[in-house]
Amino acid sequence: MSLLTITHLKVHFPTQDGMVKAIDTIDLEIANSERLGLIGETGCGKTVLGMSIIRLLQPSTKIEGEIWYKGKDLLKLSEGEMRKIRGKEIAMILQNPTTSLNPVLKVGDQIAEAIQLHQGLDKRAAREKAVEMLESVKIPSPDKRANEYPHEFSGGMKERAMIAMGLACNPSLIIADEPTKGLDVTIKMQIVKLLKEVSRRKSMLFITHDLGVATQICDNIAVMYAGELVEYAKTEDVFKNPLHPYTQGFLNSLPNMGLKPIRGMSPSLIDLPSGCRFHPRCDHASAKCTIEHPPMVEIEKGHSVRCFLYT
Amino acid sequence: MHKITKIATYGIIIFVILSFNFFLPRIMPGDPFAFLTGDPSTDMPVVLDAGIKAKLLSYYGLDKPLSMQYYDYIANILHGDLGWSIYYNAPVWDVLRGSLKWTLLLVGTSTVIYMASGIMLGAVSAWKKGKRVDAGLLTFILSLSSFPSFFLGLLFIILFGVDLGLFPISGARTPFMDYSTSFEEIIDILHHLLLPAATLVIAHIGGIYLLTRNSMLNVLGEDYILTARAKGLREGYIMRRHALKNALLPISTMIALIAGFMITGTILVETVFAYPGVGRLLYEAVLVRDYPLLQGAFMIITLLIIAANLAADMIYVYLDPRVKHK
């Protein structure tokens, strides 16, 4: 059964240079206990998708479509109703823990305030729970650490604290935005292991451009390109049988796969290419690809692709 | 180590300023007795012959070479002796003490009021950026603050003091008044305080308001504000707990600078309202070239500004945990 269903989602930002079509159009489902990886290059709209689920985009943003969560369309909720979902039902772990933690508040207090708000605990009980959370993300001497400020934490510890903060109210869905960005390899592996552990029996949308990390955590992978999904498959199928030329190119650009970059640049989201958005960079592009926009087609069960090569 | 350098820095600053206080008055044309001798550059036709003037100069030690006078001045200050006011013919400290309490009352009250309200209104403005509240506050406070303080003071005197007769137009209390209760005395003092304090508040609120507004706007764009929102916290709570403390960091360093302007503003306002504070005393001391009194008044003002600096440093440490461990 699906926990989150996104249908026909469009997210556009009006700017001075024109309308930025950050998401255009996305349909996506996340099942109960599913860990879904959202993969794509920087600037393809991954983070915007996460932010639109918990509705933290600027008020000027134009959003169309529906985001169904436990029988409610999140886009139709009032701000007050939405606040009760943020942090409690759906937690978002933002990227860049160094700037995402408040420098003048104690780490323990930053975790405890959400607990106090959503679970109605008093200050002391919330603090105790915060210490427990720090312990659960394997921060040594959590009782002492809870009283420290973010600048006293190392990069990996800050990321752990962010994860503890996200998990504090036992949410059903975790949106993790590039949680391994900027960490060195050993720390990265520890965080991956931790995320895998804490997301057990939970749903997670794991946003990353690091395919290697995604394969270790996720059940399914959705590949995003220029504001839309171009391929969706089980994690092993993405590796064994990548269908979309972009997915293939993405795999080939990985260090252990030959480090061959995809030619060209990802398109501007203001002025999207006609037809298939990937055609200017695609080696298989035909005349049809420059004119017609390919639909998402399910090739085999659980494996869909947006490409004319398969239709 | 850090504390020692800090103390040394303050010591050097105080010494340099004390030296300025000594030399600046002496650079001005005239001397304390020019006004008594009927110097053509002043219009006080008092006759004082050269012999008496020489005696007076020697009596106050003003005939000694400048270097000796400077040495005496520093040595006396180190002994806590500020000297003898030539004009008032009383110890400088006694003259100063009488006016210092009024200045502290005036500056203290207005500083607390304009800081608190400026920060509050600035924060509200930033929170409601672009909305009607923000536009209204911005226009209102900026246009009000553009008046020079002395002009505003004069307007207040004419409007509320003379025309409406609601407030006294000079002094810090009603002269020769017998108060039956101390409550009555307090009311009288507050009654005199209101107009000059209001003038200072209006003259200074604009700066702190704008500073807070800008600082808050910067902070509201930070990632940790987004984190706070992602936790489902209320906007008002996020403003108070997450944004304001960060926004106050640059403001606390500005407090020291503002304190300097505050003193100059006080001189004007005290003069306009004939408020018996240090500012007005300074103004009178300049007119009559009362060197010891000038030096004393300058020194008090210097110490007040340095105290404000120290307060700002301490507030910063309290607000920002990152500086504590350095």
Closest chain A C-alpha to B205 CA, distance in angstroms? 26
Closest chain B C-alpha to A203 CA, distance in angstroms? 17
pLDDT of res. B38: 53
Domain presence at residue B89:
no
Last residue of a domain, one of B16, B51, B81: B81
What ipTM did this prediction achieve?
Answer: 0.92
Residues B135-152, mean pLDDT to the nearest whole number? 89
- Exposed, middle or buried, A80 (CB in 10 Å: 0-12/13-18/19+)? exposed
As a three-state string, the secondary structure of chain A is CEEEEEEEEEEEEEECCEEEEEEEEEEEEEECCCEEEEECCCCCCHHHHHHHHCCCCCCCCEEEEEEEECCEEHHHCCHHHHHHHECCCEEEECCCHHHHCCCCCCHHHHHHHHHHHHHCCCHHHHHHHHHHHHHHCCCCCHHHHCCCCHHHCCHHHHHHHHHHHHHCCCCCEEEEECCCCCCCHHHHHHHHHHHHHHCCCCEEEEEECCHHHHHHHCCEEEEEECCEEEEEEEHHHHHHCCCCHHHHHHHHCCHHHCCCCCCCCCCCCCCCCCCCCCHHHCCCCCHHHHHCCCCCEEEECCEEECCHHHC
> How many domains does chain B contain in total?
2
Is residue B284 domain-shared with residue B149, that is, in the same domain? yes
Is residue B172 domain-shared with residue B256, that is, in the same domain? yes
Residue B218 with chain A: CB contacts under 8 Å: none
Return the number of other C-beta atoms located less than 10 Å from residue A151's C-beta. 14
Residues B156-163, mean pLDDT to the nearest whole number? 88
Domain presence at residue B87:
no
Pairwise CB contact (< 8 Å): B230 & A104: no
Residue B232 with chain A: CB contacts under 8 Å: 83-88, 114, 117-118
pLDDT of res. B10: 83
The Cα-based distances of A156 to A76, A96, A139, A166, B302 in angstroms read 37, 11, 10, 15, 48
Pairwise CB contact (< 8 Å): A103 & B228: no
Q: A125-148, pLDDT tens digit by residue?
A: 999 999 999 999 999 999 999 999
Pairwise CB contact (< 8 Å): B231 & A87: yes
Q: Which of A96, A113, A118 sits opposite B223 (nearest CB)?
A: A96
Q: A63-75, pLDDT tens digit by residue?
A: 999 999 999 999 9
Side by side, the strands of the sheet bearing A228-234 are A90-93, A173-177, A203-208, A35-39, A220-225, A228-234, A303-305, A297-300
Is residue B223 domain-shared with residue B320, that is, in the same domain? yes
Closest chain B C-alpha to A45 CA, distance in angstroms? 18
Decide the pairing of beta strands A173-177 and A90-93: parallel
Average pLDDT over all residues of chain B: 85
Q: Phi and psi dihedrals of B173, rounded to 5? A: -160, 165
Closest chain A C-alpha to B219 CA, distance in angstroms? 10
Tally of residues, chain B = 326
Residue B224 with chain A: CB contacts under 8 Å: 99-103
Domain presence at residue B189:
yes
Is residue B194 domain-shared with residue B53, that is, in the same domain? no
Is residue B70 domain-shared with residue B182, that is, in the same domain? no
Pairwise CB contact (< 8 Å): B230 & A117: no
Is residue B76 domain-shared with residue B207, that is, in the same domain? no
- Does residue A98 have a cis peptide bond before it, meaning omega lies within 30 degrees of 0? no
Nearest residue to B115 via CA among B241, B220, B200: B200
Pairwise CB contact (< 8 Å): B229 & A86: yes
Pairwise CB contact (< 8 Å): A91 & B230: yes
Pairwise CB contact (< 8 Å): A100 & B223: yes
Is residue B19 domain-shared with residue B124, that is, in the same domain? no
Residues B32-57, mean pLDDT to the nearest whole number? 65
Confidence at B36, pLDDT banded by 50, 70, 90? low
Q: Is residue B326 within 8 angstroms of chain A, CB to CB?
A: no
Cα(B20)–Cα(B298) distance, rounded to whole angstroms? 9
**Residues 6 or more apart from B8 whose CB is under 8 A from it?**
none
Q: Best-predicted range by mean pLDDT among A111-115, B36-40, B92-96, B304-308?
A: A111-115
Q: Is residue B240 within 8 angstroms of chain A, CB to CB?
A: no
Best interface-test mutation with A: which of B218, B224, B234, B319 has the largest number of A CBs within 10 A?
Answer: B224
Q: B50-77, pLDDT tens digit by residue?
A: 777 778 778 777 788 888 888 888 888 8
Low-confidence ranges of chain A (pLDDT < 50): none
Residue A88 with chain B: CB contacts under 8 Å: 232
Q: Is residue A149 within 8 angstroms of chain B, CB to CB?
A: yes
Residues B173-182, mean pLDDT to the nearest whole number? 79
User: Taking 60 as the threshold, does the pLDDT of residue B40 lie above it?
Assistant: no
pLDDT of res. B326: 47
Between positions 227 and 266 of A, the ones with CB within 8 A of B are: none
Is residue B13 domain-shared with residue B161, that is, in the same domain? no
Is residue B200 domain-shared with residue B57, that is, in the same domain? no
Is residue B98 domain-shared with residue B75, that is, in the same domain? no
Decide the pairing of beta strands A297-300 and A303-305: antiparallel
Residue B242 with chain A: CB contacts under 8 Å: 102, 105
Q: B194-229, pLDDT tens digit by residue?
A: 999 999 999 889 989 999 999 999 999 999 999 999
Domain range for B75 is: 2-81
User: How many contacts (CB atoms, under 8 Å) link A and B?
Assistant: 71
Domain presence at residue B172:
yes
Joined together, the tokens standing for residue A219 give: 């059940």
Share of chain B above pLDDT 90, in %: 25
Q: B230-281, pLDDT tens digit by residue?
A: 999 999 999 999 999 999 988 888 877 777 777 777 888 898 898 998 888 8
